[in-house]
Structure 1
Amino acid sequence: MGAMKFSIVIPYKDRLANMSLALESLSHQTLPTDEFEVVVGVMENSPQYAQLCRKFENRLNIVSVVSAKKWQLGLARNMAMRLSSGQIIVLLDADMVLPDEFLVRLWNEHYSNGENQCVVGQMIDYSNNDTDVTVVDHHPYNHYKDRLEAVQAKGPGESDLRLQFDHIIPWAYAWTALIALPRESVERHELTFDLNFWGYGVEDLEWAHRISAAGIPIVMSRSAFGIHLPHVRSLADNKKAEAVNYRYFVKKWPSIEVELAACFGDFEANQLINPLRQELDQLLETGKSFASVCATRGEVRSLYLGALISADGSLEGLPEAEPNETREAYPLIGLALPFGDKSFHDVITLAPVRGLSHNYRKAVQSEAIRVCEKTNATELNFAAHTHSL
C-alpha cells in the first residue's frame, strides 16, 4: 500500500477552543482515518493541548512536535512538514473548520491523477486583519457543521473575495490558512518556510513566491472551502510585524510585484499590477526600468530613487560616483524599500519619479521620508529634494 493521502499540518499556540473545533471537523472527514494524519507544530508547553489530543486519540492520528520558539510560525510548520508522510501536505490554521467531504473532494478534484499543483482553499467569514478583536464567541461544533452543509448545498461559489478578481500575481493570494501542495514538490524544491520572518504575516507570501518561481501552478479552488473562526488580535501589533516582514521580503526578492504588495497589500497588488505596468511602459523607454540605488561613502549612506537601469544592467541618471563610493542597485521604484527607518544620510529623488501618477509619487515620498535620517515629515519636500540631471 502506498503512502497515506494527506498530512494536515497545523501550527498551534494558545487557541484551544478554535483548535478543538478544527480537530472535531477533521474527525468527521469521510476520508478513512488511515488515509490522513494531523501533524501539529506546537509553540508552547501546554497540558491543556495534550489533554485535547487525548480526546481524539481513537478518532484521529495526531502527531505533535514542540518548538522552542515563542511565535515562529515558519519553524512550527517546517518541523511538522518534516514529520509528514502523506502524499499531499495541507497547511491549515488552527482556526479553520472544514466540511466533512473536504479531503475527499480535494483529492478527487485536484490530486487523484498525480497533479503537481498548489491548491488554495476558500475561507468563509475571513476578516483580513482590518479590525482589533478583543472578545471571541465560540459556538458548538454542530453550529459550524450546519453552516458548512448549508454552504455546500447552495454551492460556495465565490464566497472568498480572492475569487472575484483576476490572479495576475499568483503568489499574492496564496495564504496558508488553507492551502495544499504535494510533499514531493516540497522536498524537491526545498519549500520550507524562511525563518527570518517573525510574528504576523508575509512568510506565506514569500513561500508562495518560491512555489510560483519553481513553476508549480497556484490555483484557487471553488470546491475546497472552510470556515475561518475569529481569534483575538491586535491590529497595531500585526501591522507593525507585517511592515518589518515585508521589508525583508522586498530585500530578498526585489521586484515591482513584491514592492507593490508591500506598499498597498497583497490583495490590492493583483488589481494594480497591470495598470502600473502600462503606466511604466508609457513613462520609460523600452528596455529600461526603475532602480533604487544605495551609495556608500565611508560611513555616509545616500539613496537615489528614480534611477534607470537598462537590460544590460547599466545605470543611468546618476551623478558620477566619487572615487571611494560603492553602489548597490535594487530593481525597485521606491514604493516599498527594504531598509529600516532613518537608514540614509540623505535621499535624492531623481526626475523620472515625478512622472509617476499621484498615488505612486505619494508612496515614494513617504518611503523617502521614512528612511532619511536628517529630515522629518514636515521638512522633506518631494519637489525640493528632487535631483534632476
Structure 2
Amino acid sequence: MSISVIIPFYRRHYNLKFCLQGLNAQRSSCFDVIVSAFEVDSQLEQICNPYPFVRIEAMSGIQWSVARSRNTGIRAATGEVLLFLDADILAQPNLVELHRAVQIESKLSCMVPGRVLNFFPYKQSSGLYTEIIEESNISDLLFDAENRLPSDERWGLPKPIPLPWSLCWSGNLSIPRKTVLDNELYFNETFIGWGCEDLEWSYRAYQTGCQVKFCREAWGIHLPHSRHIKQQITSEKKNFRKFLQNYPTFEVEILTWLNDIEANRSFLDILLDISKVRGLSIYDAQKSLMMGFLPNRLRLGIDKLEPDEKALFLLGIVTPFEKNTFDEVIVPNWIERLPTYLRLPIQIEMNRICKKELI
C-alpha cells in the first residue's frame, strides 16, 4: 500500500528542512512527498532537491489558503493513502509505516490521527508567541521526545470519545485516497486564516461512514515557530461560526462553544444535564433538541414545528444567526431549569440574536 504525504507549505523553510529530514529517515520506503507551496522560490527548491521522493506542487490563487494547499496535494497525489503532515512536524522514524499498517489492517475506511507532541495552541491567549529550535539535528530533537516534551491532550481524554471526528487534526492524519475521491472530500476553501477547516473536513468524512482509529505510536514533534495568538484565535472563532452555519447540529454547536478538547471532555455531561431536566434518556435528549424559526421569530426547545417554520437541531448556546435577527424569541420553561453553566450562555445568545432584550 503506497502513501502520498501531503505537506502544505508557506514560508517556513527552516521547519520544512527538519520535516523532510525526518521523512528521509523513515524506515518505510513506500511513500512519496508532495510539498504544496504557495510560493516556489530557490530556497524551497534547495531544501527539496536532495530528496528524490519529494516533488513541489505550486498552488493557485493570490492569497495563501491551507485548505487550497491541501486540495492541490490531493489532486496531485497517486498513493493509495493520503497522509496529511504539516511542515512543522518532525516525524519519528516509524510514523509513515505505522499509518500504513493501521490502514492495511482496517477493513473499513478510516481516518487515522497520530499524536502531535509539543503542540498547545491555547495555553497562551494573547501576544506574539516565539520560540527557537536550539537543537541542531533531528536525532537531538527526537531523543526521549515522548518523555521530554508536552504530550498530546487528545490522548488524555476519557473514553469513550463522543466526537472522534473533532480530534482529527490534519497535522498528522491519514485517510484512504479512494474515500476522499469517491466522496469528493476536498477541504472547504472558503475558510480564511487559521483553524477549523480540518475539523469541518473530518466532520464531512465521518458522515460518509469513515471511522476514526487513533494511533498513539505514530507521533511527531510540532516544531516551534512565530505566530500571532490573538489573530489565530479571532480567525478560528470566525471559522467555527461558518462551520455551524454550514452544519447546524448539536455536536457542532458544542464544538463551536468549547473547542475540540473541552467539547469531548464535557459532551456527555452536558447531555446528562439536559436529560435530567427533560426526563429523557441521554440518547432521546439529544434527539429532542430542536428550535423552529420564521423570518422574525425563533422558538427555542420545541417538540414539534409549526407550519412554515424551519428547524435547527441546536440547544441555543451558539446559533448561526446574526445579531438582532429576530423580533421575538420564545424560550420554554425547561430551559430555565438547566444548570447555570448552560442556562446563562443560552440567555446571552438569545439576547444577541433578538432585537429586544429578554427578561
TM-score, structure 1 as length reference: 0.82
State the SS of the aligned residue for 1:230: coil
Q: Tell me which amino acid in the other structure corresponds to 1:159.
A: S
Match of 1:387 in 2: none
1:222-371 matches, cutoff 5 A: 222-284=216-278, 286=280, 289-296=288-295, 301-304=296-299, 306-309=300-303, 314-315=304-305, 327-371=309-353
Equivalent-residue separation in structure 2 for 1:221 and 1:8 (angstroms) = 17
Contact 2:132 2:225 in 1 (8 A): no
Alignment of 1:175-194 (within 5 A): 175-194=169-188
Does structure 2 conserve the Cα–Cα contact (< 8 Å) formed by 1:78 and 1:193?
yes
Q: Is 1:163 matched up with 2:155?
A: yes
Q: How far has the Cα of 1:69 moved from its partner?
A: 4.5
Give the residue type in structure 2 aligned to 1:44: E
- Mapped to 1, the partners of 2:301 and 2:100 lie a distance apart of 49
User: Given the alignment of the two structures, is residue 112 of structure 1 paired with residue 104 of structure 2, yes or no?
Assistant: yes
Question: Who is 1:206 aligned against?
Answer: 200
Shift of 1:38: 1.0
Q: Is the Cα contact below 8 Å between 1:74 and 1:193 reproduced in 2?
A: yes
CA shift at 1:202, angstroms? Answer: 1.1
Instruction: Quote the Cα distance in structure 2 between the aligned partners of 1:99 and 1:182.
Output: 21
Matched residue SS, 1:67: coil
Kept in 1: contact 2:326–2:353 (CA 8 A): yes
Structure 2: tracts of 5 or more residues without a match: none
- What residue number does 2:45 align with? 50
* Percent pairwise identity: 27
Matching residue within 132, 141, 149 for 1:137: 132
Which range moved further: 229-238 or 255-264? 229-238
1:41 maps to 2:36: yes
Aligned residues of 2:71 and 2:186 also touching (Cα < 8 A): yes
Alpha-carbon distance change, 329 to 106 in structure 1, aligned in 2, over 3 angstroms: closer
CA RMSD between the two structures? 2.5
Q: Distance in 2 between matches of 1:112 and 1:243?
A: 37
Matched position secondary structure for 1:112:
helix
Structure index of larger Rg: 1
Whether the 8 Å contact between 1:307 and 1:315 is mirrored in structure 2 is no
| 1:71 maps onto 2:53 in alignment | no
| Mapped contact 2:70–2:187 kept (Cα < 8 A) | yes
**CA–CA distance in 2 between the matches of 1:253 and 1:362?**
24
1:7-64 Cα offsets, whole Å, 9 max, x none, are 11111112121111111211221222xx21111222235443233223x244x32232
How far apart, CA to CA, are the structure 1 residues paired with 2:215 and 2:128? 28
User: How far apart in 2 are the matches of 1:93 and 1:251?
Assistant: 27
Given that 1:124 and 1:225 are in contact with CA atoms closer than 8 Å, whether structure 2 keeps it comes out as yes
**Deviations 1:79-121 (Å, cap 9, x if unpaired)?**
111110111110011110011222223323x133464321100
Give the aligned residue type for 2:134.
H
DSSP-derived class of the 2:290 partner: strand
For the pair 1:31 / 2:11, whether they are aligned, the reply is: no
Over 3 Å counting, the alpha-carbon distance change for 1:282 and 1:87 in structure 2 is: same
SS in 2 for 1:258: helix
